[in-house]
């Protein structure tokens, strides 16, 4: 992050700045400078002085600001004197500009202000048209005006040459006064100023704009601002329908103004071609009875303060709708605010302190809390105190926080609701010196020093009314009510903290159905000792520079921070929450604990029979209005007297001022899956019920480490409650997600039983370290995987064996590279040829391969935050169907099969752009080099089988067929590749029982490999198998006696008539549709990945499905049982050789399934074909 500045002005007009790399406020060098307000932008800051003049401070830069002045010397030839400056009366001036219309002698050039100085004297430019000339700089022509050239000809009657002189801007790093447009006219009595517009073009910073408001309510625009002319040239008045009191300009095309009558104006039509816009649109104040005081805008956000100092956020603002759609009230009372870079919000509170809005991201533009700006001040190491008139152990107290969760929505269907109560008391913890933390989160509150008494921490109310009572420069009544606040428990939060909303843990009504034991003790403690630590309500401290500034204005337009930045003076001092308890048994357990050191790095706290981990996460609320909410998370595990353990995962949140919670029993969790949501480090928690409802619980941590900590903890507890203590067994089912995460399931006898079959949505999937596109295995413990870059990997763990210290040597670094694609689409028209303007019914001009979803190079992101770009966007010529030399593919219309050459009937075309991203992690996988693969298959077998070498077939990324030699359980990687000849490249291959090898070519043709045996592992020849009528197959899987295949349209086919004497079969039979991949196991069990779930269009494609009713007499099965879904890419059941007991007594001895799948299930988990 580059070093940038935050600017602020105190009530005496003194200007200060603090660097993102520094820790201390720095006052402007000019001690006599007094400004009313400032407006910062990239590389500059504007200000309005108390003398009504405009001032400019350009940030020093290595490249000087230079401006080139030029004038032309013109001469005409006559027979007596030759070339002379005596011209004809109709000629141009002897010294003029390039057009000759304006006279420009040397003495007409003046420095625009004292901020400029000449670099040298005038000199002749000896280049003509950019090329060196030997003519002394003269250019000749027949007459004025004409085309000049450096060559003198016989008819050259006129000539000219250019004189150049440079002037340099010398006021960088200082405040320079901007001269008025007319020297004899007094400066405009300006009262407000706003800088922005630097992102209106692709060349950042080329066109900075400046707007101003006069005391008469007029609006002015500064002309001529340019990188070489930072001051501009003059003011242009912009007509307004009403008198304006203040305005704000964003980095792009957003301009709002506050009117004296309390409403707001929005400027429409701002662009590079029309920098002053075209028209004004009026927007009402957030509250009709309260007028607007201040407005500030960013790229696509608008913040407003009304005259009762309430803060409001405008939703729905964008370039197409600059007026937005409604107001949302934000907790906190501020005097002014400013939206800076990255839409980050800075404010001056009613206590005259500076605040920063944490948690502001593109997906959460309103943020979720306020923290103080605590830069150091003066010669001491103390930070600038909050202007509350009290001493908090020389440490900044935590500010009040708020988010749209508890906001007032003035545009709701129910009409305006009561505004947020600003007098609600919010606890603030005393904390140690602030530490550097990401701005999107809040660090753990530090513990008291060792010599402090072992007593509950003192809680200090930080409500708005409390602060108001300490401000001496404002005459406003406030309430001194103090509500009861429960005590904060030690070690309550993990190091992964996300800033919390105030009523996410407010001190109001207790949690629903949750005991808050210990609240009475907190009340008595606060009643007796709230003001015992030197806190005085007798008035504010004296205002003076020695005690820290009393702020009046702040501008963050030049301060480049975001939610992930680490800035020392933007460190929160602790989580702002109220104490809460999970259960009565926990409360009693915690009350008996002795004080201990801060345990932020220890995941568990143990107390007799109860341990718990608590922390803060974000929860995706999946009902309207859908949004991320700050929540408290807690994992509780209690051990009973008989040794059994009960574990519960709690999520606490607030809705409409009512505290609620969600709880999930750990033994009901079926999967913990990392997901990609709004660039968050998110993961989904699945249970059987949530799987059936296709609605997992989605949570997000602040950092990747925090997410991995939670996933590891929850996964360990889930495995512990199920008695899983070893790596995946030899019979495990393997699957991968579209993100590349690997999961394994331990099968039971009931999974493939004919009766009491285990429901697919109750399967427990645990994550295996690593990253793969697909994984294949067999029941001898051999597991192979293929990464997105084609690298082959072999599992180096010990399937089914207790992990020990020696297993550390089997963990290797794994690097995977993946290509992301977007398609550029164009349509031909007779006037312009191929253009990006399509028909209304066409696909987006930038889309995915299907054309159903708009995908641009700008909004396409890596699969998850763990990935990083390693290349730039480039045209991809390696596309099926071929391309022309520019990468285009042509077709008659969308969507039709594309080809690589243009014909007369081709009216549309597309080309694919690709960009590579990379992920690096560790796992029990060892690479098998050097040939990259596209598909791999191991022969399925029963668990008690024994063979010297395990047949393994694969396809290279170029479609070559390979057979791996030397593959054994002791040497799973094998020894060498054997190439098997083919007439064309292949795209799918599978080997089944009895060495049956089937494959699909790139054109969809199906082949069977004959004479494959242990003695002849490569076989003899290929036999062509007819494909289904008018269908092109793309993937197949072979079991013990059955073959299933998937075509390009997602149809699943079964091969009939397979016998030992005729292994090629006789015909294809359609089974079902909506299939992307199929896997057939050693028991002929059939599993597949469904493309989509009927009735759940919002769920991501890819759901695990199990074919029920498969048996020797019914190899095709009867119906599908739908399981976990939403982003699954691949599944392999070829290692599951666990056969169900054949007798009814043995079957009854096993644990029956909680329910059997029926065709009438509501979620469609079983549906007859």
Tell how strand 82-84 and strand 54-58 pair up. Answer: unpaired
Sign, Cα dihedral of 68, 72, 73, 77: positive
SS3 per residue for 748-795: CHHHHCCCCCCCHHHCCEEEECCCCCEEEECCCCCEEEECCCCCEEEE
- Separation of alpha carbons 650 and 702, rounded Å: 18
**Which residues of the chain fall below pLDDT 70?**
1-2, 130, 181-188, 201-207, 378-547, 572-611, 639-643, 679, 798-809, 1140-1169
Which string of b and e fits 1129-1139 if b means at least 16 CB within 10 Å? bbbbbbbbbbe
Residues 769/783, Cβ–Cβ less than 8 Å = no
Radius of gyration of the chain (CA): 37
Q: Which two tokens stand for residue 891?
A: 């077709």
> How far apart (Å, rounded) are the C-alpha atoms in residues 713 and 994?
43
Give 3-state DSSP helix, strand, coil % of the chain, rounded to 5: 5, 35, 55
Q: Which tens digit of pLDDT belongs to each residue from 507-541?
A: 333 333 333 333 333 333 334 443 333 333 333 33
Q: Pull the structure tokens for residue 993.
A: 């029982």
Contact 1122, 761 (CB under 8 A): yes
Residues 193 and 200: their CA atoms lie apart, in Å, by 19
**Residue 239 CB: number of other CB atoms within 10 A?**
8
Task: Report residue 515: phi and psi, to 5°.
Answer: -80, 135
Evaluate whether 44 touches 222 at the Cβ level (below 8 Å): no
Q: What pLDDT digit, counting tens, does each position of 242-256 carry? A: 999 999 999 888 999
Distance CA 1005, CA 1024 (A): 7
Compute CA distances 904 → 14, 826, 828, 892, 1056, whole Å.
72, 16, 11, 9, 45
What is the tens place of the pLDDT at every residue in 816-835?
Answer: 898 999 999 999 998 889 99
pTM: 0.51
Query: Cα 554 from chain centroid?
Result: 28
Structural tokens at position 366: 């309103």
Run of H or E including 678: none
**Terminal CA-to-CA distance of the chain, rounded, Å?**
58
For the CA atoms of 893, 898, 904, 907, the dihedral, rounded to the nearest 10 degrees, stands at 30
Q: Give the Cα separation of 899 and 844 in Å (integer).
A: 20
User: What is the rounded distance in angstroms from the CA atom of residue 207 to the CA atom of residue 224?
Assistant: 9
Kindly state the DSSP code that residue 155 receives in the 8-state scheme. T
Coil, helix or strand at residue 445: coil
Q: Using the 8-state DSSP alphabet, how is residue 400 labeled? A: P
Least Cα distance to 495 among 672, 677, 703 occurs for 703
Angle at 694 between CA 725 and CA 632, to 5 degrees: 65
Spatial CA neighbour of 359 closest among 388, 330, 325, 318 = 330
* 930 upstream amide cis, omega within 30 of 0: yes
Do residues 1087 and 1137 lie in contact, with contact meaning Cβ atoms separated by under 8 Å? no
Tens-digit pLDDT profile for residues 1090-1112: 988 777 877 888 999 999 999 88
Residue 555: per-residue pLDDT: 93
Beta bridge mates, 193: 212
Contact 550, 352 (CB under 8 A): yes
According to the model, what pLDDT value does residue 52 have?
81
**What whole-number distance in Å separates Cα of residue 267 and Cα of residue 240?**
10
**CA-to-CA distance for 493 and 614, rounded, in angstroms?**
5
Q: Kind and range of the H or E element at 1041? A: none
User: Which two three-digit tokens encode residue 255?
Assistant: 């301009």
pLDDT at 206: 56
CA distance 497 to 630: 10
CA distances for 248 relative to 251, 313, 324, 860, angstroms? 10, 14, 16, 31
Tokens of 646: 């009960």
* Residue 131, token pair as written in the block: 């090329």
- For residue 920 the two structure tokens come to 């690096």
Cα distances from 72 to residues 105, 137, 175, 320, 690, in angstroms, run: 9, 11, 35, 47, 80
Sequence-separated (6 or more) residues with CB below 8 Å from residue 468: 333, 350, 351, 474, 476, 478
Q: What DSSP string runs through 1118-1132?
A: SEEEEEEESSEEEEE
């Amino acid at each position: 992050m580059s070093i940038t500045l935050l600017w602020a002005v105190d009530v005496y007009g003194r200007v200060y700045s603090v660097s993102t790399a520094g820790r201390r406020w720095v006052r402007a060098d000019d001690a006599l400078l007094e400004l009313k307000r400032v407006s910062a932008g990239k590389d500059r800051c504007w200000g309005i002085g108390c003398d009504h003049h405009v001032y400019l401070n350009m940030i020093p830069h290595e490249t000087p600001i230079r401006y080139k002045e030029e004038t032309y010397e013109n001469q005409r030839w006559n027979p007596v004197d030759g070339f002379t400056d005596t011209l004809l009366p109709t000629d141009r001036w002897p010294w003029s500009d390039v057009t000759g219309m304006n006279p420009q002698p040397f003495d007409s050039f003046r420095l625009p202000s004292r901020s400029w100085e000449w670099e040298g004297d005038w000199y002749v430019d000896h280049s003509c048209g950019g090329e060196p000339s030997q003519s002394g700089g003269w250019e000749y022509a027949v007459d004025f005006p004409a085309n000049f050239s450096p060559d003198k000809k016989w008819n050259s009657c006129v000539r000219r040459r250019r004189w150049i002189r440079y002037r340099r801007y010398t006021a960088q790093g200082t405040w320079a006064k901007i001269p008025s447009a007319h020297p004899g006219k007094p400066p405009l009595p300006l009262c407000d100023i706003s800088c922005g517009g630097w992102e209106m073009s692709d060349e950042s910073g080329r066109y900075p704009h400046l707007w101003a408001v006069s005391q008469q309510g007029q609006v002015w625009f500064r002309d001529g601002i340019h990188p070489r002319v930072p001051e501009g040239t003059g003011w242009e008045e912009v007509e307004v329908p009403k008198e304006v009191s203040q305005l704000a300009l964003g980095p792009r095309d957003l301009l709002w103004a506050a009117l004296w009558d309390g409403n707001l104006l929005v400027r429409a039509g701002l662009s590079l071609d029309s920098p002053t816009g075209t028209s004004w649109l009026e927007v009402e104040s957030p509250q009709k009875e309260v007028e607007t005081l201040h407005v500030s805008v960013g790229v696509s956000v608008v913040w407003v303060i009304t005259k009762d100092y309430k803060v409001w956020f405008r939703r729905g603002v964008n370039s197409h709708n600059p007026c937005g759609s409604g107001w949302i009230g934000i907790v906190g009372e501020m005097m002014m605010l400013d939206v800076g870079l990255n839409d980050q919000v800075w404010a001056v509170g009613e206590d005259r302190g500076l605040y920063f809005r944490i948690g502001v991201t593109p997906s959460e533009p309103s943020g979720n809390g306020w923290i103080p700006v605590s830069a150091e001040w003066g010669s001491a190491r103390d930070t600038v105190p909050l202007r509350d008139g009290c001493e908090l152990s020389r440490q900044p107290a935590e500010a009040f926080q708020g988010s749209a969760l508890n906001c007032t929505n003035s545009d709701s269907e129910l009409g305006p609701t009561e505004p947020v109560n600003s007098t609600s008391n919010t606890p603030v913890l005393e904390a140690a010196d602030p530490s550097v933390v990401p701005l999107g989160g809040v660090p753990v509150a530090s513990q008291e020093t060792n010599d402090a008494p072992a007593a509950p921490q003192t809680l200090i109310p930080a409500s708005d009314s409390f602060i108001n009572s300490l401000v001496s420069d404002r005459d406003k009544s406030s309430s001194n009510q103090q509500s009861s606040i429960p005590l904060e428990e030690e070690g309550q939060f993990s190091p992964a903290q996300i800033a919390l909303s105030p009523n996410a843990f407010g001190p109001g009504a207790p949690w629903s159905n949750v005991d808050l034991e210990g609240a009475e003790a907190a009340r008595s403690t606060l009643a007796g000792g709230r003001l015992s630590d030197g806190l005085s309500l007798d008035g504010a401290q004296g205002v003076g520079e020695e005690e820290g500034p009393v702020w009046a204005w702040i501008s963050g337009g030049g301060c480049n921070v975001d939610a992930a930045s680490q800035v020392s003076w933007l460190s929160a001092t602790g989580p702002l929450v109220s104490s809460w308890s999970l259960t009565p048994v926990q409360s009693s357990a915690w009350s008996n604990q002795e004080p201990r050191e801060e345990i932020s790095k220890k995941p568990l706290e143990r107390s007799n029979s109860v341990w718990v981990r608590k922390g803060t996460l974000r929860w995706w609320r999946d009902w309207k209005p859908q949004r991320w909410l700050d929540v408290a998370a807690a994992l509780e595990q209690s051990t009973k007297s008989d040794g059994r353990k009960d574990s519960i995962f709690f999520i606490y949140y607030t809705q409409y001022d009512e505290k609620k919670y969600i709880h999930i029993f750990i033994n009901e969790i079926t999967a913990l899956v990392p997901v990609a949501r709004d660039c968050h480090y998110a993961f989904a928690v699945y249970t059987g019920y949530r799987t059936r409802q296709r609605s997992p619980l989605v949570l997000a941590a602040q950092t990747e480490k925090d997410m991995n900590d939670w996933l590891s903890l929850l996964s360990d507890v889930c495995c512990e409650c199920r008695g899983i203590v070893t790596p995946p067994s030899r019979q495990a089912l393997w699957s991968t997600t579209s993100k590349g995460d690997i999961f394994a399931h331990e099968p039971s006898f009931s999974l493939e039983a004919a009766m009491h079959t285990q429901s697919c949505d109750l399967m427990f999937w645990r994550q295996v370290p690593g990253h793969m596109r697909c994984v294949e295995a067999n029941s001898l413990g051999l597991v192979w995987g293929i990464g997105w870059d084609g690298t082959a990997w072999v599992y180096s763990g010990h399937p089914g064996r207790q992990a020990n210290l020696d297993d550390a040597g089997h963990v290797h670094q794994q690097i995977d590279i993946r290509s992301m694609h977007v398609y550029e689409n164009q349509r031909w028209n007779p006037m312009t040829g191929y253009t990006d303007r399509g028909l209304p019914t066409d696909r987006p001009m930038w889309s995915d391969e299907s054309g159903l979803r708009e995908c641009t190079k700008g909004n396409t992101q890596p699969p998850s935050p763990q990935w990083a770009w390693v290349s730039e966007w480039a045209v991809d010529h390696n596309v099926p169907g071929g391309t022309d030399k520019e990468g285009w593919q042509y077709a008659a219309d969308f969507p039709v099969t594309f080809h690589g050459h243009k014909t007369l009937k081709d009216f549309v075309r597309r080309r694919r752009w690709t960009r590579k991203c990379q992920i690096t992690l560790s796992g029990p996988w060892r690479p098998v080099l050097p040939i990259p693969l596209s598909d791999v298959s191991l022969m399925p077998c029963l668990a008690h089988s024994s063979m010297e070498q395990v047949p393994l077939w694969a396809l290279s990324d170029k479609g070559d067929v390979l057979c791996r030699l030397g593959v054994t359980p002791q040497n799973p990687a094998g020894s060498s590749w054997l190439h098997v000849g083919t007439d064309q490249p292949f795209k799918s291959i599978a080997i089944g029982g009895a060495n049956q090898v089937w494959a699909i070519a790139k054109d969809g043709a199906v082949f069977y490999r004959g004479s494959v045996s242990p003695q002849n592992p490569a076989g003899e020849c290929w036999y062509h198998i007819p494909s289904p009528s008018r269908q092109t197959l793309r993937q197949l899987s072979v079991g013990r006696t059955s073959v299933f295949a998937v075509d390009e349209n997602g149809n699943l086919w079964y091969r009939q008539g397979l016998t030992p004497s005729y292994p090629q079969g006789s015909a294809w039979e359609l089974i079902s549709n909506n299939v992307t991949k199929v896997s057939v196991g050693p028991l002929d069990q059939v599993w597949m990945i469904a493309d989509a779930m009927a009735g759940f269009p919002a769920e991501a494609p890819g759901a695990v499905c199990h074919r029920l009713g498969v048996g020797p007499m019914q190899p095709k099965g009867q119906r599908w049982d739908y399981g976990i879904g939403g982003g699954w890419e691949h599944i392999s059941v070829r290692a599951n050789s666990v056969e169900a007991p054949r007798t009814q007594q043995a079957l009854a001895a096993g644990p029956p399934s909680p329910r059997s799948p029926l065709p009438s299930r509501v979620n469609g988990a079983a549906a007859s074909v």
